[in-house]
Amino acid sequence: MSFNPSATIFETAFTFPGQTGFYRGKVRDVYFFNQVMVMVVTDRISAFDVVLPRAIPDKGRILNRIAARNLKATEDIVPNWVLGVPDDNVTIGLKCNPYPVEMVVRGYLAGHAWREYRAGKRTLCGVPLPDGLRENDKLPEPIITPTTKAHQGHDEDISRAEILKRGLVSEADYTRLEKYSLELFRRGTELAARQGLILADTKYEFGNHNGSIRLIDEVHTPDSSRYFYAGGYEERQRKQMPQKQLSKEFVRQWLIENGFQGKAGQQIPEMTDERVMAIAERYRELYLQVTGEKLPDMPPGNPVDRIRQNILNSLNSINLQGLV
């Protein structure tokens, strides 16, 4: 498959009637309208909290479609922010006041947690870990290892005690965030099992809207979660072999192998067309495995023009409710 840069969405720069603000995150462009926010999930890709220089075809719509699916599948556990999904790359929802922590839930010792454990740490975010664990082992029970939510730079591990000490979240709200996070992880584990997958770890973000806690951002996507293939998991652990993963870890590993971990002075390795398309193919595989469905073809035409028109149409509809 050839690389077509016009088919990717690196960034948007819209100006809409009634728009009250704009924020560009690592991979999302967010437009604000009174009580409403419009989130455009671009094809940008980040790793180690750094935005890489090339966009990945279909990445944005893959993540947005998976997130929309999983938000719908968990709305009985906790209300979420979504009002509508007018485009494969767009979610429109209620503007919430985000809690300044991400709730990371881990069922297995992998990724960052394993790197910390391998370095000798036996307490992660205030949670004790037993000796004798190997990479990708199942933990005795799921644990919550929160991080601070950084607008720029790296998120940082933080304990429950430190969150409460700093007053980042009230104890009453934080207790509810913990409860919701563990319930969401159980649901995510069930949904993954139906697809022959293991949900190893994931993160959840929450916001407050008029006194109500709501689940915000994406949920159980390959960018916010780490999946293992269930088939062969036990055998690979027994033989101390790497687990077959569905996550963004393959991008991180490629960067690590080429001397980049987001640290000062390090250079991002060249992202050739071949590398970009290889990453795109992995994301399409992720979509198939997580949803059990093949990714539909991209709608025809210029994707940025399509997104703008679909947002305008949706805003006109939502405006009738007096939210914009």
Average pLDDT over residues 4-28: 90
98, pLDDT greater than 50: yes
pLDDT of residue 1: 45
Segment 156-168 mean pLDDT: 96
3-class DSSP assignment, residue 67: helix
**Tell me: the pLDDT tens digits for 240-270?**
999 998 878 889 889 999 999 999 999 999 9
Q: Which long-range contacts (CB under 8 A, 24 or more apart) does 288-292 make?
A: 289/195, 289/196, 289/197, 289/227, 289/246, 290/66, 290/192, 290/195, 290/197, 290/220, 290/221, 290/222, 290/227, 290/246, 291/65, 291/66, 291/69, 291/195, 292/194, 292/195
Instruction: Using the predicted structure, report yes or no on whether residue 3 has a pLDDT greater than 80.
Output: no
pLDDT number for residue 321: 60
pLDDT score of 6? 58
**If you average pLDDT over every residue of the chain, what do you get?**
93
Question: Who's near 171: CB < 8 A, 6+ residues apart?
Answer: 164
pLDDT of res. 193? 97
Residue 154: pLDDT band (50, 70, 90) is low
- Strand ranges inside the chain, DSSP E: 21-24, 28-33, 36-41, 46-47, 50-51, 82-87, 90-94, 97-98, 101-108, 123-124, 127-128, 138-144, 147-148, 197-209, 212-216, 225-229, 245-246
Tens-place pLDDT, residues 273-323: 999 999 999 899 889 999 999 999 988 889 999 999 999 999 988 764 666
Q: Assign 216 to helix, strand or coil.
A: strand
Give the domains, in start order, of the chain with CATH numbers.
Answer: 98-246 (3.30.470.20)
Burial degree of 297 (CB within 10 A; 0-12, 13-18, 19+)? exposed
pLDDT tens, position by position, 62-77: 999 999 999 999 999 9
If one counts every other C-beta atom within 10 angstroms of the C-beta of residue 301, the result is 9
Rounded to whole angstroms, what are the CA distances from 46 to 55, 224, 248, 250? 10, 12, 9, 12
Please report, rounded to a whole number, the percentage of residues in the chain having pLDDT higher than 70.
Answer: 95
Percent share of the chain, pLDDT over 90 = 84
Per-residue pLDDT, 300: 86
Extract the tokens encoding 47. 């790793």
Predicted TM-score (pTM) of the model is: 0.88
